[in-house]
Amino acid sequence: MTREAAAPLDATFRPRRGRVVPLVVAGVFVLICVAVSVGMGVAGEWTVGDQVALVVFGLLVGGFLARYAAIRATPGPDGLTVRNLMLTRTVGWDEIEAVRFVEGDPWVSLELVDTDVVAVMAVQRVDGDRGRAEARRLLELVRAHRRS
């Protein structure tokens, strides 16, 4: 088993399984919705409106899963831009008090100086050793920016 090279300190954080699995599921789900829609239309069981509704539903679910696959955390000179499932937020380096990845947590959390907590879904426990290495890289990045 080969070990992948460490990412540069300022590289974008992205989950591995959190990208691949949702995209595959989204594609399969949309294809199934289209196939069922066409099949029910050919069988004469559904109206065109029913078929369109199922395809639109499939596309909406696929879009949601694609959004999940797009989560990331992008380091910049002024802070970390965290794009989670619903919200995108930029946190200044000087705002970050601690980086937490407590056993059992699904992803990294940033504790801010104002006592707020920001989830960083881009660094996930499900990625195993890679997720832990990415959490360490994020901590090192925060420390580097706090020193400068």
Handedness of CA 4, 6, 12, 18 (dihedral sign): positive
pTM above 0.75, yes or no: yes
Span 29-37, mean pLDDT?
Answer: 97
- How far CA 81 is from CA of 39, 41, 133, in Å, comes to 44, 46, 19
Residues paired with residue 7 on neighbouring β-strands, in sequence order: none
Torsion angle of the four alpha carbons 33, 34, 39, 41, in this order, in degrees rounded to the nearest 10: 100
Q: What percent of the chain has pLDDT over 70?
A: 95
Question: What is the number of alpha carbons within 13 Å of residue 124 lying toward its C-beta?
Answer: 15
Cβ neighbours of 38 (radius 10 Å)? 14
Cβ neighbours of 71 (radius 10 Å)? 24
Given pLDDT bands bounded at 50, 70 and 90, which one contains residue 9?
confident
* pLDDT at site 88: 96
Span 103-123, mean pLDDT?
Answer: 95
* pLDDT at site 4: 56
For residue 122, is pLDDT > 90?
Answer: yes
Residues paired with residue 75 on neighbouring β-strands, in sequence order: 80
